[in-house]
């Protein structure tokens, strides 16, 4: 255990990195997850490690989309399981979504380690282990999902998804909420609702918005969803990075 002083300027980022390292040690996160984390850190640095106003708008639209959905599913990979297991379980409860493990590098061992980790953090049911359905347009291992999970979902939250799979889910008509710090990544471009933010901040923020919108009827939810403009949000995120105001404040 390394002690990180709370007043360290990169405190949150170092805590995050440490959780990913631990995830690799316990077999939850793949070694490639370390590289994804490093890439994310670079973008988060440019955002000033803060939730921007455009990311907050996107989190609210995501909450509305999840509450309005017939069958929402939250997809979990090794980085997400290592970083925000409790927050995922809490969000799934508030919006009544399924949780499904879905890995880029699928191994039975890692699938089980992640499912167990989520159960340890209070999950009721974790899907992804039946692997009895296939998303078209992806090679077998990467397109494998549960028929009664992502296979049957109308809305999928995919934090840190890779671009190919985000595009394949989009092609079969699923509405996608993507959390990705890179506004230019293909996953962010394929999303119905792109949230350009760190999963550490974004997942609890969606839950907060969902709790506030819980009593809203379908007309009100549809209004929030229809007013949301994904292109505008990606553009604003890029401007926020370029202006660098968040870094200096």
Residues that bind ligand ATP (CB under 6 A): 36-37, 39-40, 43, 83, 160, 162-163, 179-182, 185-187, 198-200
CA torsion through residues 143, 144, 150, 154, sign: positive
Burial of 120 (0-12, 13-18, 19+ CB in 10 A): exposed
Helix (H) / strand (E) element for 59: namely helix 53-68
Annotate 145-170 with DSSP letters as a single string. Answer: E-TTTGGG-SEEEEET--HHHHHHHH
Q: Which of residues 75 and 185 has its CB atom nearest to Mg ion in the complex?
A: 185
CB 126, min distance to ligand ATP, A: 21
Tell me how far apart the alpha carbons of residues 7 and 217 are, in angstroms, rounded to a whole number. Answer: 44
Q: Which of residues 75 and 187 has its CB atom nearest to Mg ion in the complex?
A: 187
Q: Which of residues 123 and 190 has its CB atom nearest to Mg ion in the complex?
A: 190
Q: Is 106 annotated as a binding residue?
A: no
Going by C-alpha positions, the residue among 57, 221, 77, 231 that lies closest to residue 157 is 77
Burial of 163 (0-12, 13-18, 19+ CB in 10 A): middle
Which position among 30, 52, 102, 187 is part of the footprint of Mg ion (CB under 5 A)?
187
Q: Is 145 annotated as a binding residue?
A: no
CB 114, min distance to Mg ion, A: 19
The owner of tokens 């996160």 is 29
Q: Which of residues 39 and 121 has its CB atom nearest to ligand ATP in the complex?
A: 39
User: Does 79 engage in binding with Mg ion (CB under 5 A)?
Assistant: no
Q: Is 182 annotated as a binding residue?
A: yes
CB 182, min distance to Mg ion, A: 6
Q: Is 102 annotated as a binding residue?
A: no
Q: For residue 217, what are the contacts with CB-CB under 8 A and spacing of at least 6?
A: none
43 binds, among Mg ion, ligand ATP, none (CB under 5 to 8 A by kind): ligand ATP
User: Does 51 engage in binding with Mg ion (CB under 5 A)?
Assistant: no
**Residues near Mg ion, by CB under 5 A:** 185, 187
């Amino acid at each position: 255990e390394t002690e990180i002083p709370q007043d360290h300027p990169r405190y949150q980022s170092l805590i995050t990195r440490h959780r990913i390292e631990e995830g690799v040690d316990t077999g939850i996160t793949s070694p490639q997850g370390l590289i994804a984390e490093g890439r994310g850190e670079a973008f988060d640095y440019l955002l000033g490690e803060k939730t921007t106003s455009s990311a907050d708008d996107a989190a609210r639209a995501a909450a509305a989309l999840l509450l309005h959905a017939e069958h929402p599913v939250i997809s979990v990979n090794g980085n997400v399981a290592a970083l925000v297991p409790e927050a995922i379980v809490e969000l799934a409860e508030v919006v009544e979504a399924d949780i499904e493990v879905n890995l880029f590098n699928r191994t039975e061992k890692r699938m089980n380690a992640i499912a167990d980790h989520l159960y340890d953090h209070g999950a009721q049911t974790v899907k992804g282990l039946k692997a009895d359905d296939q998303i078209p347009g992806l090679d077998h291992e990467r397109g494998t999902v549960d028929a009664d999970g992502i296979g049957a979902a109308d809305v999928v939250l995919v934090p840190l998804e890779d671009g190919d799979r985000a595009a394949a889910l989009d092609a079969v008509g699923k509405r996608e909420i993507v959390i990705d710090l890179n506004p230019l990544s293909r996953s962010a471009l394929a999303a119905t609702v792109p949230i350009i933010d760190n999963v550490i901040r974004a997942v609890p923020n969606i839950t907060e918005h969902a709790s506030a919108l819980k009593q809203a009827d379908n007309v009100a939810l549809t209004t929030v969803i229809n007013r949301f403009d994904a292109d505008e949000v990606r553009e604003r995120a890029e401007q926020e990075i370029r202006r660098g105001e968040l870094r200096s404040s």
